[in-house]
C-alpha cells in the first residue's frame, strides 16, 4: 500500500479512536442525565448503553483499520470493506453536522467540529481510492 494511504488511514483512525474514547465521557461532561426525568430509568439505561456501544464501535473501527494496514494478513478486499464502512460513518457524521449542527453555542466549536469531520472523511476516502486504484498491496 502506498505510504500516503497508510498515513491517512493512521491519522483518520487515530481521530476515530480518540473521538470514541472521548465519547465515553461525554454524558458526564455535558451532564446528559440531568435532562432526563429521574423516574425514567429505562431511558437513562438506554442512553448510557447506546453511548457505550457507539463509543466502543468507534474505538474498534479505528483499531481494526490500523491493524489491517499494518499487518501482513489483510487482503485488499478486507481493507476496502473496512475503509468503505468507516468512510460511510464519517460522511454521515459530517452531513449531520451540516444539517443538525452541534456546538452552535460557539461558532468556533461548531465549525471546528465540521472541519475535523470533513478532514477525517477525506483521509478515509482518499485512502479508499488509493487502495481501489492500485494494482496490489505491497
In tens, the pLDDT along 97-124 reads 999 999 988 999 999 999 999 999 999 9
**DSSP conformation class of 41:** H
pTM of the shown model:
0.91
pLDDT bin (cut points 50, 70, 90) of residue 138 is very low
Q: How far apart are CA 112 and CA 88, in angstroms?
A: 20
pLDDT, residue 86, reads 98
pLDDT bin (cut points 50, 70, 90) of residue 2 is confident
Q: How far apart are CA 61 and CA 6, in angstroms?
A: 15
HSE (side-chain half, CA atoms, 13 Å) at 119: 13
Q: How far apart are CA 106 and CA 21, in angstroms?
A: 23
Q: Is 2 left (phi over 0), alpha (psi -120 to 50) or beta?
A: beta
Model pLDDT for residues 26-79, shown as the tens digit of each residue:
999 999 999 999 899 999 999 999 999 999 999 999 999 999 999 888 899 999
pLDDT bin (cut points 50, 70, 90) of residue 128 is very high
Amino acid at each position: 500500500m502506498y505510504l500516503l494511504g497508510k498515513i491517512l488511514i493512521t491519522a483518520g483512525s487515530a481521530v476515530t479512536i480518540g473521538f470514541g474514547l472521548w465519547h465515553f465521557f461525554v454524558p458526564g461532561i455535558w451532564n446528559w442525565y440531568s435532562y432526563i426525568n429521574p423516574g425514567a430509568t429505562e431511558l437513562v439505561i438506554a442512553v448510557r448503553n447506546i453511548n457505550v456501544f457507539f463509543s466502543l464501535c468507534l474505538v474498534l473501527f479505528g483499531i481494526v483499520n490500523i491493524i489491517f494496514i499494518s499487518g501482513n494478513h489483510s487482503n485488499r478486499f478486507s481493507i476496502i470493506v473496512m475503509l468503505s464502512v468507516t468512510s460511510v460513518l464519517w460522511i454521515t457524521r459530517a452531513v449531520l453536522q451540516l444539517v443538525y449542527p452541534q456546538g452552535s453555542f460557539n461558532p468556533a466549536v461548531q465549525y471546528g467540529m465540521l472541519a475535523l469531520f470533513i478532514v477525517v472523511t477525506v483521509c478515509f476516502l482518499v485512502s479508499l481510492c488509493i487502495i481501489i486504484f492500485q494494482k496490489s498491496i505491497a
